[in-house]
Amino acid sequence: MSGAASLDDFQARVDDFVTKSLFGYRAERHAKEKSIRDAIWGTCLFYPWEVAILDSPLLQRLRDVRQTGLAYLIYPTAMHTRFDHTLGVVTVASRIVRSINEKHASSKQNDPRINHADHMRVRLSALLHDVGHSCLSHVSETVYGSSNEFRLLIRQINSDFGVTPKPHEVMSWLIARSTPFKEFIAHLQEKEIVPHAEPALFAPDDLEDIANNIIGYRKDPRKKFLADIINGPMDADKLDYLVRDAYFAGPTVVYDLDRFLHTVDAIEYPRDESLPDGGRKVVRLSVPIHGVTALEQIIISKLMLFSYLYHHHKIRCVEGMYHEVLKRLIEVSKQPKKKGTKRTKRTYPTMGHPTDFLSLSDRSVLPHAWPPEVEGDPVADTLISMLMRRDLYKRALVISRLFIRDIDTNAKAKSGFERLLSCGTDSAGRDELRKLIYDDTIALMKSKPYKERTKEFRSQFMLQHILLDIPRSPTVEETEAVMVPTSSQSQGHDPEFVPLSDMFPIEKWVDAYNAIKWRGHVFTIEEAVPFVNEVVIDILGAPPYNLAFSPQATELCKIGHSTLLASRLFRG
């Protein structure tokens, strides 16, 4: 299938999902202005047409999609949802628009930089920006986004629009540009839920722009800053989730939003005359030089959350366990029914295509909806039962630059570590290494000292009981994409600009994070920890990795001779 054909196929499937979701929904019964109290931003006003969309099944599903996935198993109060976050993003996006307009209201023209219609379109983009999320948010996104079908789709979008959006952003984009959603908006206009005085507020071309905001694209470069508000280096999405995730998970993360809003503006970037179009005017979201400090705070807050929350080893563990559940269910969904066998009622959701995930929420894949004791997949049943009992895998090895001997002076070790890091993005290479670890662990268990003692346990030990977790380093697109004006326009001269990275060398912060904070792990079930630890140290100590681990790599796992003797496996 070609990329264009893949896009058409995805769009047709999403159109069908939207049609089914909106079937029978009577928007006019819900279209009343509402003030909603938010724990982060206080009381927020929503227009009747926004409430009609919020109360639709498309958006209501997000009430049952946790913002931080399975993090609540580690941080019990991290139960906030994508719906909560969506309300916050609309509020913050609107504040950005009003802040920009206030700066231009004092000009001689007294003309707002962003007119009312574009303001409402930004709010609709914010409403829809996460509508494509599936169960447990990024947990499921990682799985369906790595499918061959989705990779082909992303390549086509990149070719057509020059952007590389996240998988859930693509799903949201497909929903926003779908024919049944456009018909739904037309129905709101017909019922005058969208004010009669604004009949062209959401015309078909406008809805394309609204959808494109979600993936960070605008055809008119002079309007690029509107997409930046939704998907850009300093977008409303980031401004909300940094505070919201920290607030509900517990870590203290603070940045000065008021200062940021006071300085943020839509700024015309310098033209690049080398471009084929002669350097058309591009207007982006940016801050003047006196606003850089507020932006620095946002970037540092993001790095702090990676350390405290997104890269927390227990969160990485539970997410890895659930990845195995979802991957297994995808495999089972694609298996054809064998001839002559009695059809078994499936109690797990079908996940044969990435768009199938649009119908799922957290409730779809948690035990109260899919009890392990009824017929399902035994591998997935085992793992999901462990998660819901909070019987989590344990660390068998901690991988860090701090715990590898001579990493800076030994060329072979340095090259081997880079090879290991590549497993974070190379799923085939990661699976191959995990299979090697599993096979060698089974061989060790079968060896003479352990053969009889491990016989019963060994028969139940599965490949899925080993997780090789190599997280990606935090991204710092903020400094790579933002240009900061260092002077104002005067006497017909264009202002001077410098990249934010020149003013705030964030790469040094990221290097420090990677050197000190970054951790990879090998996880496994408790009984297998001593065996997996020994095997992994041997495998990674040999070519092509050549990594010699210091004792801390094992000590942080809280295993050793005493743990081995105390293990349930060796009691008695």
Does 14 reside within a domain? yes
> DSSP string spanning 72-138?
GGTSTT---BHHHHHHHHHHHHHHHHHHHHHHHHTSTT---SS-HHHHHHHHHHHHHTTTT--TTTH
Q: In this structure, is residue 180 part of a structural domain?
A: yes
Q: Any alpha helices (H) in 355-404, and if so which ranges?
A: 378-388
Q: What's the helix, strand, coil split of the chain in %, to 5?
A: 55, 10, 35
Q: What's the CATH code of the domain at 211?
A: 1.10.3210.10
> Which 3 state secondary structure label does DSSP give 37?
strand
Q: How many domains does the chain have?
A: 1
In contact, 390 and 52? CB cutoff 8 Å: no
For residue 87, being part of any structural domain is answered with yes
Of 549, 74, 548, which Cα lies nearest the Cα of 311? Answer: 74
Three-class secondary structure of residue 467 per DSSP: strand
pLDDT 10s digit of each residue in the chain, 572 long?
Answer: 777 879 999 999 999 999 999 999 999 888 899 999 999 999 999 999 999 999 999 999 999 999 999 999 999 999 999 999 999 999 999 999 999 999 877 655 556 789 999 999 999 999 999 999 999 999 999 999 999 999 999 999 999 999 999 999 999 999 999 999 999 999 998 888 887 555 567 888 899 999 999 999 999 999 999 999 999 988 999 999 999 999 999 887 778 889 999 999 999 887 655 555 555 688 999 988 888 888 888 888 888 898 899 999 999 999 999 999 999 989 888 877 666 555 555 567 888 899 999 999 998 887 665 555 545 688 888 898 898 889 999 999 999 999 999 999 999 999 999 999 999 989 999 999 999 999 999 999 999 999 998 998 899 999 999 999 999 988 766 566 788 888 765 545 667 888 887 887 777 878 888 889 999 999 999 999 999 999 999 999 999 999 999 999 999 998 754 444 434 344 33
Expressed as residue numbers, the domain containing 183 is: 3-250
Q: Looking at the domain assignment, is residue 257 inside a domain?
A: no
85 contacts 67 by C-beta, under 8 angstroms: yes
Gap between the Cα atoms of 76 and 248, Å rounded: 9
The half-sphere exposure of 271 on its side-chain side, counting CA atoms within 13 A, is: 11
Between CA 416 and CA 414 the distance in angstroms is: 5
In a domain, 459, yes or no: no
Do residues 85 and 130 make contact, with C-beta atoms less than 8 angstroms apart? yes
For the four alpha carbons of 21, 22, 23 and 26, in that order, the dihedral sign comes to positive
The answer to the question of residue 243 being in a domain is yes
What number of CA atoms fall less than 13 Å from residue 170's CA on the CB side?
Answer: 26
DSSP string, 7-21: HHHHHHHHHHHHHHH
